[in-house]
């Protein structure tokens, strides 16, 4: 599986779809829409495949898209991908369900042909404002050398017209903007997307593809988005892509992402599966127009006892049960700090460099280090989640995050560096929420 799709709340339950190949764990294959639902974002019930590539316009993949609830009906807007003797066409299509399980494709699909924008026009994200529906779509232009996001509007989800170009690359931000999202937070608008083709610059943009955002102002009358900030990465780990957000009944803006990266072949494939999603995170926008991410509060419900609590001296080591756990650290902001996760020959090192104001995650091997600027506001605080083959790090209030995969062979021990100490260290065991493999 890869991109999360159709994230929404329907009849008091969270629904989450995802790009899915039911035939193989070895390659992406022809995309279907997998489907799961949950009452708490952590205990998921797998449902039947929601969308199959069974029409001429989507025969080569039911690509990414989103969901919107209208009159107790769940509507999915997605990209139908077809390849006719080498000619790729991407069309936007509609499917609907009144029970949230079985979906019927609109008989007059596609609802948006996009003839002027072929062959890369995909990943629609739809929302409603007033009496109108709006949709952002990723696109490339100038012979597929520059990426951009297009805005369309509709009265009925079936007939769409172009409203504006929300944003476009000047060359720096790559050749294709995938998985766009557009929403309002604290009176400002956030354009969240995944550009392809951004070149690395020092510690920035080191993954094959990125996910990040631009904050600005938007006028629904003129349909013009005016940026206030430059593009900023949302996560600094190795494996974070194709974000999707949803608003829940508490008015939280929750984001999930694919916790992997294209062209990475991880050993999980040998066990018959491939890909996972991040912990759901509540987004907030600061007064300086930066997004912060915090694990949703529901995660407290899967804590299953303390493995350690209290002051931790240098070298303190705690074994995680089943390689699953949550670690909460409080330490001095004026000193270097190292936290090591080790299992056999596998080591992941989380490091705060006080002299240079840097925080880094090093999983070893080629291209193992991810690093960015960060200075704690007050005490150094970190919250880390380990889930068998993944690590997600939240620094401070969530102003910096790292999401990466790693593959321990043996039991994972969490150890403080030989010169590091914690004023308080909590290590929780977490409940297993899916059956053991």
Q: For tokens 């509007």, name the residue.
A: 153
Length of the chain: 437
Catalytic residue, from 3, 123, 235, 239: name it.
Answer: 3
Exposure string over 381-407, b if 16+ CB within 10 A, otherwise e = bbbbbbbbbbbbbbbbbbbbbbbbbbe
Please count the other Cβ atoms lying within 10 Å of the Cβ belonging to residue 302: 18
Burial (CB count within 10 angstroms: exposed 0-12, middle 13-18, buried 19+), residue 143: exposed
Reduced to 3 states (helix: H, G, I; strand: E, B; else coil), residue 19 is strand
Reduced to 3 states (helix: H, G, I; strand: E, B; else coil), residue 268 is helix
Is 194 within 8 Å of 248 (Cβ atoms)?
no
Closest alpha carbon to 405 in 323, 320, 339, 315? 323
Tokens of 249: 């009944």
**Is 3 tagged catalytic?**
yes
Cα(128)–Cα(131) distance, integer angstroms: 7
Residues labelled catalytic: 3
């Amino acid at each position: 599986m890869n991109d999360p799709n159709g994230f929404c709340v329907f009849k008091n339950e969270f629904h989450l779809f995802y790009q899915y190949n039911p035939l193989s764990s070895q390659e992406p294959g022809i995309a279907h829409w997998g489907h799961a639902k949950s009452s708490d974002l952590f205990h998921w019930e797998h449902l039947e495949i929601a969308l199959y590539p069974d029409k001429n316009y989507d025969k080569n993949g039911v690509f990414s898209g989103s969901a919107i609830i209208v009159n107790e009906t769940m509507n999915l807007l997605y990209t139908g991908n077809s390849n006719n003797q080498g000619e790729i066409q991407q069309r936007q299509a509609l499917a609907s369900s009144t029970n949230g399980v079985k979906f019927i494709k609109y008989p007059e699909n596609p609802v948006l042909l996009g003839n002027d924008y072929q062959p890369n026009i995909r990943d629609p994200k739809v929302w409603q404002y007033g009496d109108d529906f709006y949709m952002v779509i990723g696109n490339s232009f100038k012979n597929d050398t520059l990426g951009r996001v297009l805005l369309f509007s509709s009265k009925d989800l079936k007939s769409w017209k172009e409203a504006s170009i929300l944003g476009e690359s000047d060359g720096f931000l790559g050749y294709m903007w995938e998985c766009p999202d557009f929403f309002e937070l604290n009176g400002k608008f956030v354009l969240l997307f995944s550009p392809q083709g951004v070149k690395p610059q020092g510690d920035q943009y080191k993954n094959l593809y990125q996910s990040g955002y631009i904050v600005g102002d938007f006028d629904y009358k003129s349909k013009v988005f005016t940026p206030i900030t430059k593009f900023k990465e949302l996560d600094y780990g190795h494996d974070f892509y194709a974000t999707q957000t949803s608003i829940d009944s508490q008015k939280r803006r929750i984001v999930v992402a694919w916790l992997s990266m294209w062209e990475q072949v991880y050993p999980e494939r040998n066990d018959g599966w491939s890909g996972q999603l991040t912990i759901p995170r509540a987004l907030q926008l600061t007064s300086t127009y930066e997004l912060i991410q915090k694990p949703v509060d529901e995660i407290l419900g899967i804590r299953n006892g303390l493995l350690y609590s209290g002051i931790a001296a240098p070298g303190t080591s705690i074994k995680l049960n089943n390689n699953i756990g949550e670690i909460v650290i409080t330490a001095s902001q004026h000193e270097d700090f190292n936290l090591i996760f080790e299992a056999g020959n596998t080591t992941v090192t989380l490091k705060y460099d006080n002299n240079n104001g840097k925080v880094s995650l090093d999983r070893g091997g080629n291209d193992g280090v991810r690093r960015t600027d960060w200075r704690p506001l007050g005490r150094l605080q970190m919250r880390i989640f380990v889930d068998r083959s993944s690590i997600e790090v939240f620094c401070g209030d969530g102003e910096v995050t790292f999401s990466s995969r790693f593959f321990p062979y043996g039991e994972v021990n969490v150890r403080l560096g030989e010169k590091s100490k914690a004023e308080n260290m909590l290590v929780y065991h977490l409940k297993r929420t899916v059956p053991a493999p």
